[in-house]
Structure 1
C-alpha cells in the first residue's frame, strides 16, 4: 500500500483543509481522514482529522465522536476511511461534502453522498441552484447522529478522498485517467482542479491499495 496527498490554497487567504493518517500499532492497518474547514481557519479541520484517525481502531462512530470532542471552536466537514476488522476493505463515514471514491472491479465509484442543500433538493426531485452546492446540511459540530453517512467497500484498487475544491472541478472520467497514468495522482488531481478554475482550497488523498491495473484495461466510470 502506498498513498499520496496534496493540497493547494487556491484563491482563499488560508488553507482550511487537512488530511491525516494513522497506522494501528498492533495491526499496522492505516486509517485516513480528510477534513474541510468551514471558513478561513483550518484549526478545526486539523484537529478533527488527527483525532479521527487516532481513534479509528475503535470504529467509525467512536472516531467521529473523538473528532467532535477535539474541536471546541470552528467547524468542518469530514470524510474518514477506517480499515475493516477483517483487514479486507474499509468503512467510510462522512459528514458534509467531503467525498470518498474507490476503484472496485476497475470501476470508479463515488462512495459518499453530499450533505448539502443542493443534494437535499435533488433527492426530492427539485432543481437546485449552484449556490446550494456550497450550503452543507451536516457538519462535525452540528450533525445529529442519524445524519452520519456510512458505507463499506471491499479493498479497492484505489481509495480517493477529496475536498470540494477538487471534485467540483474534476469529473470521474478525468479522475480515472489520472489514477491510471499520473506518477503522483493526488498532486495531479489538485493541479487539474486549479487549472479548471477552482478558487477554493483543493485537497486530495489517494491510497493505492492493490497492484496496478494492467495498462491495456480501461477504467470505466460508474453511472
Structure 2
C-alpha cells in the first residue's frame, strides 16, 4: 500500500478580477499566501512570497521563511502562512495576517493560528467588533516586523491551510463536516465556500499523512463553479 503523504490544493477566484491566492511547496515546506487587493500586482506578491517562504529549509524556522517572503516582495503585499515539517514529527507554523492553519486528526479540526485583524484585536481587548474589522489586517508580509510574526507548533501530521474566502464564509462546524466526509476535501471546501456566497478568492490546501521532504505538492485545482 502507498502510504506517502500528499498535499491537495484547490482554488477559485470568485467574483474578483484575478486570483491573488498562491500556494508553493519545496522539501516538505508549504506556504499559502493571499494577495492584498484585486490586481495582478497583488497576485505576483502572493506568488513571490509563497515561493520564497517555501524555499527556506525547515530547520531555519518559520521566522526565517517569513523574512524571506518579506525580502521577495518588490511591490504589492500579501498575508501568508507557512508550515515546516519537524524532524521528529509535526509542524512549525508561521503566519502574518488572516490566512489560517488547522490541525486535523480525522475527526476534529483545531485552529492553530490566530487572525491578525482589527476584529481580533478588539475581541482580545473586550471591544465591539464591526464586520468591516474582520477584513482589516494588522500584519502583512510587507509591513510586519519580525517580532509581530505569529509562530506556533503542532504534533499533528495532517494540516489544513485556508485563505479567508474559505474560513470567513464557512463555519468551523461546516468545515469539520466536509473534512470528515469528503474524499477530496480541498476541492469540497472551496466548492462549499462559493455555494455559501463567498465573493473573494478562496483557496484550501490539505495534507494527509506524515510530512516528508520527498512529498510532492499536487497541482492546485482551479475550480470552475457556476455563477
TM-score, normalising length from structure 1? 0.87
Residue 68 (structure 2) aligned to one of 66, 69, 72: 66
TM-align CA RMSD: 1.3
Residue 29 (structure 2) aligned to one of 28, 31, 37: 31
Cα distance in 2, alignment partners of residues 88 and 202 from structure 1: 29
CA contact (8 A) 2:106 2:180 kept: no
Cα distance in 2, alignment partners of residues 186 and 103 from structure 1: 13
Structure 2 unpaired stretches of 5+ = 211-227
Report how far residue 71 of structure 1 moved: 0.6
Alignment partner, residue 214 of structure 2 = none
Moved over 6 A (4+): none
Question: Which has the bigger relative contact order, CA under 8 A and spacing at least 6?
Answer: 2
1:129-208 equivalence runs, <5 A: 129-156=130-157, 158-208=158-208
Alignment partner, residue 123 of structure 2 = 122
Cα distance in 2, alignment partners of residues 19 and 149 from structure 1: 19
TM-score, normalising length from structure 2? 0.86
Aligned to 1:188, the other structure's residue is in SS state: helix
Deviations 1:180-219 (A, max 9, x none): 2212110100000000010000000010126xxxxxxxxx
Structure 1 unpaired stretches of 5+ = 24-29, 211-223
Residue 77 (structure 1) aligned to one of 73, 76, 79: 79
Q: How many residues get paired?
A: 202
Deviations 1:59-109 (A, max 9, x none): 21111111111111000000010111x231000100000001112484311
Aligned to 1:14, the other structure's residue is in SS state: coil
Cα distance in 2, alignment partners of residues 55 and 193 from structure 1: 31
Cα distance in 2, alignment partners of residues 77 and 94 from structure 1: 8
